[in-house]
Structure 1
Amino acid sequence: MKPLRLAHVQGCWVKRLTPSGQEELGVVKMAIAETGEIQVHWIRSDRASFVDAATVSSGFQNGQDVLDCTPGTGVRSLGLGVIMQQRVLAGSEQALVDFPDKRERHWLPYQYLRQVKGVRHRFLRAHLGQDTDVERLRLRLLAHAIKVWNENTGSLSHLEIDPLPHQINLVHHILASDNLSWLIADDVGLGKTIETGMLLHALIQRNRVKRILLITPAGLTKQWQDELYHKFKLEEFEIYHEDFSVNEPRQWKMHDCVIGSLDRLKQPDHLESLLQAEPWDLVIFDEGHRLSRRQYGLKFDSSERYDLARALRGRTQHMLLLSATPHQGMQDKFVALLELLRPDRRQELLMLSLKPEILRDMVYRNHKADVTDADGQFIFQGKITSALKVPSSPESIDFDQTLQAYLRKGYAAGEALGRTGNAIGFVMTVYRKLAVSSAAAIHQALRNRLQRLLDDYGDDTLPSEPTDQRYVGEWEEQVRGEAEEFFAGEIQLLKQLIDDASLLMANDLKLTVFINSVIGPINASNPEEKVLIFTEYRTTQRYLRDALAARFGEDKVALINGSMQHAERREAISQFETHGRFLISTEAGGEGINLQRKCHMMVNYDLPWNPMRLVQRIGRLYRYGQKLKVVVFNIQQSDSLDQDIVDLMYQRIDSVVDDLAQVQEHEFNEGLKDEILGELADLIDVEDILQQATKLGIERTSERIDAALEEAKKAAELQREIFAHAATNDVNELGDQVAITIDHLQSFVVGMFGQLGIEISVSSNEPRLLRIRLPDLVMQELGLSKRSSSRMDVTVDRALAARRPDTRMLDLTSSLMQYLLAKACLYDFGGLAGSVCAPNLGEGSGALFGAMLRWQGPQGNRVRQEFVTILTGQEGVKVNSGVVSDWLMQPAHFSAQATSIESSRPLYDAANKVANQRLAELSNQHLIPESLDWAGAGWTSPN
């Protein structure tokens, strides 16, 4: 068979048969394409000659280090690899080359491979290299450490904030598990978006996932898209039915990163189309507790949302659920969520009560009480809550007495009609809530009711009750009831109530307290202070807006509520965060908003009956990123029966929270108390009790609240007992790894600038601000045109980059940082071995190695890699020693101390043994050792 004729590259190893029949090895020095001849330096005879390329064959051996030198314009080298196997196929000699950095193996023509001297060869042969190789060795090792640290944590990606230890540890834990199906159950406000973004960035960088489906509540689709783009530069995500539509199932393959609304995708027509899409690599559900399936005996009752998730589970290899409250005291519902994650472990999950330790493989929970910053300081600064009692007035007393009489008659009329009277009772309950909110809200509702009765026309039907409870308040405001009197004399009583409400509005002491006792002192203390104000109802919202605008100007007040489009809400929030002073929000308007960076003052003009709503309100400010103590003002009417009952409920809840906080194993802190409050508020069900309060009286209501709290307390204790077995933040999670700090990044960047001839000046005021000028070669290799400025300001400090819009942030998405890292890892950059003068690395002579350890899954896909440093010498063997981490931050110096082949072998053997031991120790059924690749090595000496 005619052999394939290819031009050999310089450095290719060949062999030929001598006339005596012996094989002779040689290295190609040059090739002449026109004649088909190559010049070969023959190793044994140490001479060069021209030979016909057809007379030689591959001289490579398995295990040799080679460099891909495939010719051609625009062809990028696959880099440094190791020959694993060789073959002849259809007359073509080929080598199977493993490229560990690329995570690829390829059969390549041997003619395009150049033999190189790798780290192991250089160290064992005691090839010291040049003086400059020592600094390049440091930069090479540092480049590997930086890349791997980011890959394993996502913490050096494009982020607007510095990630916290608990976020870094969570991402590393999941990535290291070879199982992407997890329930992330962090407490409210710990940054689940940050964690998810970091995880996605790391997975995409690893090529672990390509097709991603992120399903969120309807009001959060745009927020997720914005945060993934602005915080992580994940710009591929499109919103289904906003950015694109699908007319035919085949069109799904055009969209790899999709964000969809939970309640849209659950609809039959959308679900049918979605299930015909190409399989997804990862499906993520935000607020996973909305996926509900309950068990009644042997029967299951699942929601449409749960059915959506179950259907998608068969179309994805991995599923991620996010929820701060996944248990809610309902074991069967919790197990149903876990079944979505790990259907293969269903039988084990049915025995969860007996074997709760299995949660460690599928649930990760960070506790607010444990979260600290990088310096070990608690990140939550605490909050101050003040209750302001509104004094009684003749008008408020008269109105409340008349209202109570109206409510008693209304409830009685509803009960007399049986089930058909439920609608009357519902209207009465709504009026009670409106009366507690504001005089304006109940006044408008009563006028609407009277008009309904007098006009006797119109549709009395309400829109469907929203499934999202945050929209219930605004929905309730539309209640007017049927066009007939609920009871005899209702019209007359309504007229009296409306008159009393008008008088109350004319002397509204609640509004006076709000303006004079809350806003006034805040304004006196700081005329620029921003205040977030919450109410359940739009009528109250407009009432407060008018009062504030009259005093401070319309441009200082913004509203957000559930009737507004997402763009309108974003505009209102932007107005508030820039030149505004007051943002008034309803429950629905506050969905998903995070204002902790610009505001720490909150006023609850009314208190919701559902205590979880209050926790969520405070969570808009009291969350990660808040630098100040949050101040909360609760305004409470003093002469209202319903207000007294609501106050009683919150007092009881605070008491139980204090009791539970005192018996926890954690050191008591504000985070712990808020963590327990969130759990308890989510579990207690008191709305029915409050609805019955007018009939029961305050004493009986108090007893029922205490009983409900006792049930919630038991559920909270059960939930805590269950979550005690979940994986959680471990301060030692990355304690034995080469952790990269901003000082490492600064040292690497400055060092590489020096090696590449990039001029640099450091600002005396801002030491991390680097003013640089790129030489022509670097400009060309970066793909910058000659018109582009070669001068720029750069930094590795996120906070500095945020303050200076014209300064480029050198995170790992930066093209310049990627260029520097790639350069440092190239074979031709040098630094594979060197002689290091480093007194801090230990007494006497020794060696420093940097190694890439890699693990694969059972089917051969790479699932984990880590960079380790190994220090060997008179003091034994140390892995990832802190002294090496410190050495990496300072320019390296050459040591003239002599070394030898004899002394190098035992140093290498000791390092190789430890590296293999670490590979074995971290291996399990999901992590199979894949490779050990030496990144660099140096002989160390104190002088």
Structure 2
Amino acid sequence: MNRESEALLNYLRVEAIRLHHFAFEEACTTSVPSKVDPLPHQLIAVQNMLRHDPIRFLVADDVGLGKTIMMGMLIKELKSRERANNVLVICPKSLLFQWQREMKEKFNLDFKIISSTKEASDLSPNQHPGNFILSMGLLGKKKAVESLLKGKWDLIIIDEAHNLTVREEREKISRTKRYAGAERLLLSDPFLNIVLLTATPHHGKTKDFIHRLRLIDPFVTESNVNVVLNEIMIRRLREEVRDFNDNRLIPDRESKIIKVTLSDQERNFFDKVNEYIRDYYMASMRESDRRKSKAYALVAMVIQKRASSSLNSLLQTLKKRRNKLGEIVNKGQNPSDQHQKGIDERRIVQEVTLSRNKEELSREISRLDDLIDEGGRIAKDSKLEKVEKVIEEHVSRGDKVIVFTEFRDTLFYLNERWKDKFRVSIVHGKMGVEERKRAETDFIEGKDVLIATNVASEGLNLQVANVVINYDLPWNPTRLDQRIGRVHRYGQKKKVLTYNVYTEETIDSHVLEILMNKLDIIKDTLGKVYDYLGVAVSDKDIEKVIRETTVKNPDETFRNQEIEKKIDSLLRKAERTAKEWNEYNLSYSFSNLDPSCDEKEEVTEEEVEMFVTETLKAYGVPPIRSRINPLLYDIRPPKGVKDAENLIVSNASFRFDECKRVKECNYIYPTHPLVRALIDLLKPSSYPISFTAENKRFMGWLLLFEVKGESDEVPVNGRVTEGMFYKKKLEKEKLIAILYDEVNKKVKRVETSFINSLTAVIDECGSEFLVIADEPEVKKKIREVEEQIKTEIEYRKNQIFQEVTDVIDQEIANIEKRRSSMTDNLDELFSRKSTVADLFNYAQIYTDSKLIAGIRLLPEGFSDITGNADVNSMKEFLNQGSEGEEIVNRLEQNKGCDVIDMRDVFTAGFDFLSICNDEVKYIEVKTVQGNWSKINITPVELMAMDPNNRTYRGRFTKAKLHGYGGDMREHFYLYIADLASKKVWEVKNPAASLREFLYQQKYMKTQRKVEIPYTDLLKYLQSNHVTSESF
């Protein structure tokens, strides 16, 4: 192997270290393969989570912002970084197949569904690492939880986590079975990665909210909840999120009302139905037996809801009830016996009766027969006709419409009435997964109307529609928002129209109309707080208002006043709760964070491509580029790589966008197994690595250091009030680059990506860098980084200490508040607090640095023209390059352009950004001194020249172009300043115009560097009459 080849290998070893650090250790890339385009708010969330170990977060983004997508991104990142093998997703049963499908279709992740205790008991993740989705109901099953505890989980995600609740009973907390199961599972391992997902993080009950947070951080208390939330919660609203061009991600939505006026025939019928409902509500309020009271209220409520849904749904319910009550008579059973314990809601609605004996029951059956008979004679369905006209109007305009109903009876009825008028698809809870999927696909690809029960609001993404009609209204605004969220989400292109259908003569519809109107009125005054009001208004609150209004039934004017009073009272309470939540920073959105990594340190696709292709060439197995598509390769790993057979990759591309376009494309991303294998292959046997490299700007040395910090063990988790501590060391690591400028005798810290601007030329550089590494200014830079690491670890240590002691202080306060005689307990708690304080106070923080590489820096081309590397000759050589750049700078300014100097951004690939009246120019300057000169084009410059790499250039210029017109043309220019002939050549779009030079093998050197003799290039410039300007 020649010295240049060995130099290249040493360069690749350094690049492997940088790649490993920033792709595996830092959150500086989220480019794992998937079929999604990550959005800024999703990247921000995933990158922020990746910075934590363990990951403990509550993601409470609004409905429709892609929480499932974020989790797919997180899972892929953790797996690619070898931080997660066993992943468990826990979600409601209705979402099991939605999660499975999303993970497979968008991330190629296979998940096995666990929906029974037996399946949970068969689970053995210790033996078979993998991905599982568990029905949330199993958290309430002791045997299922015991089985889960036997496994070693790396990441647990719980969707719809607001279903994990506790109840405050007097001064005690009562855990629901699901919460207790989740608590056992999540707190069993202090180093487990946990993410809770919910769009409604707070139910309006502080202790319930605190306990939900304790599933993530057991140290949270009411006194420190604000501080903890800023660390562990991510919440963004639909109105806040933006795309990469700072445009709103989701369009506006508008709510409209469809008011239905009943015919006389319908009104008379519903008045009689309301009398029947009122009888059961009144009996519920009189009944002292709690079980009977709840049963009577349930009968009334279900019939009332079905009456508001549709005439058909009501008649079906009345018929089923009449038939069941008839069976009781025919069997000679006692009507009072129908209140037995343990019967389900369906049987209660059909069988529970006010009748105390056979005679009374016969009269009730007769009453039901009359209602059924009268309802069956109604010729006109006013509600259906009114809604039908709205649908016709939208379908004629090309809109797709979703009609939501709570009941399948109504769904089947609407489908029957509309199937010959519209192209209709239906979705309901009794359909199998594949059947639902087909219905969804049919609607997306060709149908006009989708009629769906609430099951469609729990998993389907239906952005293809922009009109939602709530044929009946759930008795809670949050449920309405879940329905609308299926449409008003990312991917929606049109303004969303929502229609709420109100029937003027029904009491519950009237109550809900007043509630929704008042919510709309206060939306403008409350701002973000409004978004929590729907959660603060509970089903029980609304049921109570409807029940009391139905029972009283005074004249309409007085009734409206009573409803308004009750709802005002309800909303005042909800507003107080919402403002309290707002104080908890529930809208914390990381809006101050940039979704892209540090542009100067980010591992780019181009960097990965260069690393892989050059490594393979160096080991004698160059990738074979496709003749049809130059962005595709066939790759075979070199000898010595572990598991080589599984690392053979066909149709490989390093461009994510290309793999989205080309079928059967295999995306090679920074943490791909092939990249990992090559990093391992290049791992040096000893440090430091050394070689000589050329660059455009400096003569001197580049030193690469690994700086680490760690603390003694401190408590990081556990039940501290019981004296149970889990301890670990707090650690931090940084990779830094320090530049010693030999010409100007300066030392400065530069980005490690500076390595990408180097071209390795000689495999050795002497040992002078070891002396440079001991220079006081170099040591000072290292100490600054060590102090920064110490500060970060100390901050985290103090934060944990505060959380731990807050828990103990809260328990002490609780005992003192109860004026308990438990002095022994108090003494024990004070003792534990003292023990904890000692552990933190005596925990030292240690730092250390290690020299990884020393690289001798020479100016570009200098090694070809002289063997004399003295400072003066190099300085003169560098000054020539600077002279040419300044000539170009003045010429551009004389044209009236605003010139931004980009020379300190080493990986930008161009020297100046010139913003002219009608054009943005990316300018790279090459300086020559007569015909003997050579033009050196680096790989970074080649990347920047490529017209397809606008995104790459934009990473460095987006902020700088802010404020200028966004519709200006952009072009790359290669300016050649010939100091001998006093002329500047302007080559526009060199990637195309100089193709015969840039991509010809005879001009290509190692690391994809291109070296063109000026005499060759000058002939082209003169013969093609390329624009030039004298200076």
TM-score by length of 2: 0.64
Q: Secondary structure at the match of 1:186?
A: coil
Q: Secondary structure at the match of 2:469?
A: strand
Aligned to 1:123: none
Q: 1 CA distance for matches of 2:548 and 2:628?
A: 69
- Trace 1:199-278 onto structure 2 (pairs within 5 A): 199-235=74-110, 239=114, 241=116, 244=119, 246=121, 254=128, 257-275=131-149, 277-278=150-151
Structure 1 unaligned runs (5+)?
A: 1-9, 11-126, 467-471, 662-671
Q: 2 CA distance for matches of 1:851 and 1:548?
A: 72
Pick one of 378, 392, 416 that aligns with 1:546.
416
Pick one of 404, 423, 448 that aligns with 1:534.
404
1:250/1:414 Cα in 2 relative to 1: closer, same or farther (>3 Å)? closer
Deviation at 1:701, TM superposition (A): 1.5
1:155/1:581 Cα in 2 relative to 1: closer, same or farther (>3 Å)? farther
1:186 aligns with 2:61: yes
Aligned to 1:807: 665
Q: Is the CA contact 1:359–1:725 (under 8 Å) kept in the aligned structure 2?
A: no
Q: 2 CA distance for matches of 1:541 and 1:567?
A: 19
1:700 aligns with 2:562: yes
Q: Secondary structure at the match of 2:583?
A: helix
Pick one of 699, 703, 716 that aligns with 2:578.
716
- Greater relative CO, 1 or 2 (CA 8 Å, sep 6+): 1
1:404 aligns with 2:278: no
1:132/1:210 Cα in 2 relative to 1: closer, same or farther (>3 Å)? closer
Pick one of 517, 521, 532 that aligns with 2:390.
517
Q: 2 CA distance for matches of 1:465 and 1:731?
A: 54
Pick one of 387, 390, 394 that aligns with 2:264.
394
Deviation at 1:693, TM superposition (A): 1.9
CA deviations on 1:385-436 (whole Å, 9 max, x unpaired) are 2222234433433333333344344444555655445534432222221121
Q: Is the CA contact 1:745–1:796 (under 8 Å) kept in the aligned structure 2?
A: yes
1:432 aligns with 2:304: yes
1:226/1:557 Cα in 2 relative to 1: closer, same or farther (>3 Å)? closer
Q: 1 CA distance for matches of 2:281 and 2:646?
A: 78
Q: Superposition RMSD on alpha carbons, in Å?
A: 4.7
1:426/1:522 Cα in 2 relative to 1: closer, same or farther (>3 Å)? same
Aligned to 2:44: 169
Q: Secondary structure at the match of 1:731?
A: coil
Q: 1 CA distance for matches of 2:143 and 2:464?
A: 42
1:341 aligns with 2:220: no
Deviation at 1:627, TM superposition (A): 4.5
Deviation at 1:575, TM superposition (A): 4.2
Q: 1 CA distance for matches of 2:705 and 2:601?
A: 15
Paired residues, number? 769
Q: Secondary structure at the match of 2:201?
A: coil
TM-score by length of 1: 0.70
Aligned to 2:545: 689
Q: Is the CA contact 1:548–1:557 (under 8 Å) kept in the aligned structure 2?
A: no
1:706/1:183 Cα in 2 relative to 1: closer, same or farther (>3 Å)? same
1:329 aligns with 2:204: yes
Pick one of 23, 26, 32 that aligns with 1:147.
23
Deviation at 1:709, TM superposition (A): 0.8
Q: Is the CA contact 1:837–1:892 (under 8 Å) kept in the aligned structure 2?
A: yes
Pick one of 590, 602, 608 that aligns with 1:748.
608
Q: 2 CA distance for matches of 1:266 and 1:194?
A: 27
Aligned to 1:616: 482
Q: 2 CA distance for matches of 1:251 and 1:129?
A: 46
Q: 2 CA distance for matches of 1:936 and 1:457?
A: 97
Q: Is the CA contact 1:134–1:836 (under 8 Å) kept in the aligned structure 2?
A: no
Q: 1 CA distance for matches of 2:500 and 2:364?
A: 34
Which deviates more, 293-302 or 252-261? 252-261
Aligned to 2:450: 583
Q: 1 CA distance for matches of 2:509 and 2:538?
A: 21
Q: Is the CA contact 1:600–1:631 (under 8 Å) kept in the aligned structure 2?
A: yes
Q: Secondary structure at the match of 1:550?
A: coil
- Trace 1:307-318 onto structure 2 (pairs within 5 A): 307-313=180-186, 315-317=188-190, 318=192
Q: Is the CA contact 1:152–1:202 (under 8 Å) kept in the aligned structure 2?
A: no
Deviation at 1:759, TM superposition (A): 4.3
Pick one of 768, 778, 788 that aligns with 1:901.
768
CA deviations on 1:290-333 (whole Å, 9 max, x unpaired) are 22223334322221112212333453223543333333221111
CA deviations on 1:234-260 (whole Å, 9 max, x unpaired) are 44656364994536x989755665432
1:849/1:340 Cα in 2 relative to 1: closer, same or farther (>3 Å)? same
Deviation at 1:689, TM superposition (A): 1.1
Deviation at 1:168, TM superposition (A): 3.4
CA deviations on 1:13-50 (whole Å, 9 max, x unpaired) are xxxxxxxxxxxxxxxxxxxxxxxxxxxxxxxxxxxxxx
Q: Secondary structure at the match of 1:381?
A: coil
Letter in 2 for 1:701: I
CA deviations on 1:253-288 (whole Å, 9 max, x unpaired) are 55665432232242233344445x255455443333
Q: Secondary structure at the match of 1:659?
A: helix
Letter in 2 for 1:305: R
Letter in 2 for 1:514: V
Deviation at 1:183, TM superposition (A): 3.3
Q: Secondary structure at the match of 2:653?
A: strand
Greater fraction of residues in helix: 2
1:487/1:797 Cα in 2 relative to 1: closer, same or farther (>3 Å)? same
Letter in 2 for 1:610: N
Q: 1 CA distance for matches of 2:665 and 2:685?
A: 31
1:877/1:359 Cα in 2 relative to 1: closer, same or farther (>3 Å)? farther
Q: Secondary structure at the match of 1:922?
A: helix
Aligned to 1:837: 695
1:187/1:834 Cα in 2 relative to 1: closer, same or farther (>3 Å)? farther
Aligned to 2:514: 648
Q: 2 CA distance for matches of 1:825 and 1:601?
A: 58
Letter in 1 for 2:177: E
Q: 1 CA distance for matches of 2:600 and 2:330?
A: 75
Deviation at 1:144, TM superposition (A): 4.0
Deviation at 1:146, TM superposition (A): 5.6
Letter in 1 for 2:407: Y
1:939 aligns with 2:806: no
Deviation at 1:608, TM superposition (A): 1.0
Q: Is the CA contact 2:165–2:179 (under 8 Å) kept in the aligned structure 1?
A: yes
Q: Is the CA contact 2:695–2:758 (under 8 Å) kept in the aligned structure 1?
A: no
Deviation at 1:611, TM superposition (A): 1.3
Q: 1 CA distance for matches of 2:683 and 2:655?
A: 20
1:871/1:573 Cα in 2 relative to 1: closer, same or farther (>3 Å)? farther
Q: Is the CA contact 2:318–2:372 (under 8 Å) kept in the aligned structure 1?
A: yes
Q: Secondary structure at the match of 2:489?
A: coil
Q: Is the CA contact 1:848–1:870 (under 8 Å) kept in the aligned structure 2?
A: yes
CA deviations on 1:80-115 (whole Å, 9 max, x unpaired) are xxxxxxxxxxxxxxxxxxxxxxxxxxxxxxxxxxxx
Deviation at 1:184, TM superposition (A): 3.4
Letter in 2 for 1:509: S
Q: Secondary structure at the match of 1:152?
A: coil
Deviation at 1:720, TM superposition (A): 1.2
Q: 2 CA distance for matches of 1:773 and 1:269?
A: 50
1:445/1:727 Cα in 2 relative to 1: closer, same or farther (>3 Å)? closer
- Trace 1:29-48 onto structure 2 (pairs within 5 A): none
1:327/1:773 Cα in 2 relative to 1: closer, same or farther (>3 Å)? closer
1:292 aligns with 2:158: no
